[in-house]
Amino acid sequence: MKVNSGYFRFFAIGLASVWLALFVFFPNLLVVITSLLTRDPSATVSLPFNLNSYWRTLDVLYLDVLWNSIKMAALATISCLLIGFPFAMAIVSLPKRWQTIALFFMIVPFWTNSLVRTYAIQFILGNQGIINKSLLALGLIDTPLQLLYTPFAVILGLCYILIPFMVLPLYSALEKLDPRLHFAARDLGASAFHRFIKITLPLTSPGIVAGCLMVLLPAMGMFYISDLLGGAKNLLLGNVIKTQFLNTRDWPFGSAFSVMLMMLLGVMLWLYYRASRFTNKQGGIHDSNF
């Protein structure tokens, strides 16, 4: 069906290609190049090429931050999965009309700026916040709990901001699951637990990996959440990169962290493709194979 077709085609392809080349491909290339250059106080970066920035990420100080950052992001991802999976399953079990409504209600709050919502969480977790006040009023505690400026607060904030990115891929994977598989398994004598372990979980694994990918990676970069909820101690990788770029102006070092994040993306994508090849089904990162 594809016949030569002139200007429209040229225009349609050209516009997006040029844009993506100029603002996606080229920039990422530049980040890799920058990470291999040397910091220069007068001109931000200069030759020669070297791997110094990467070696420096292994410095104990940064390794600690890196480890902490990965830990908090990973915990947030796992929490999102544990909260999101039953949530997505509950939505899928609703009648079609209610599914749309439930998803709609889940997404509405995300039309408020995420920064503002983080700020609202600050309100809730504070010493004078709703949680502490209720607990005090109930007599469960005598002195306010220190909730704000803890790793817990950061993880909670990440979870809250990123949960839709977990639920949506899970939902689309669960929705594609043929209910007859469950009937068949039931007919063959599988218990509810076995049906979940042997059918639901393996067949939605691409969706699970997709969801984790869409939570874990952004989570590592959300510097404003750790800024507002974690205080100075609980830093994310995003805070490090931001400081290197906007304060210390050590671009090669900041770029090196960023390249490492992209490598992590590569690993997760590899996992995703393995999972989807295994189930022969797309999970939800993009349902559209170009």
Ramachandran sector of residue 177 (left: φ over 0; alpha: ψ -120 to 50; beta: rest): beta
Q: Which is nearer to other proteins, 106 or 177 (CB)?
A: 106
CB of 186 to other proteins, least distance (A): 15
Handedness of CA 269, 273, 276, 282 (dihedral sign): positive
> In this structure, what is the dihedral angle of CA atoms 276, 282, 288, 290, given to the nearest 10 degrees?
20
Q: Which is nearer to other proteins, 5 or 143 (CB)?
A: 5
CB of 61 to other proteins, least distance (A): 20
Q: Which is nearer to other proteins, 63 or 115 (CB)?
A: 115
CB of 194 to other proteins, least distance (A): 17
Of 143, 178, 159, the closest CA to residue 279 belongs to 178
For 242-256, the DSSP string reads HIIIIIS--HHHHHH
Q: Name the token pair of 277.
A: 């090849």
CB of 170 to other proteins, least distance (A): 13
Of 173, 220, 222, 221, the closest CA to residue 200 belongs to 173
Q: Which is nearer to other proteins, 60 or 128 (CB)?
A: 128
Q: Which is nearer to other proteins, 60 or 211 (CB)?
A: 211
How many Å is the Cα radius of gyration of the chain?
A: 23
Angle (CA) 68 242 70, round 5°: 20
Residue 67, CA distances (Å) to 63, 117, 196, 267, 274 in order: 6, 27, 33, 17, 26
CB of 58 to other proteins, least distance (A): 20
Q: Which is nearer to other proteins, 195 or 242 (CB)?
A: 242
CB of 171 to other proteins, least distance (A): 12
CB of 212 to other proteins, least distance (A): 12
Q: Which is nearer to other proteins, 23 or 60 (CB)?
A: 23
Contact 266, 213 (CB under 8 A): no
Give burial (CB, 10 Å; 0-12/13-18/19+) of 38.
middle
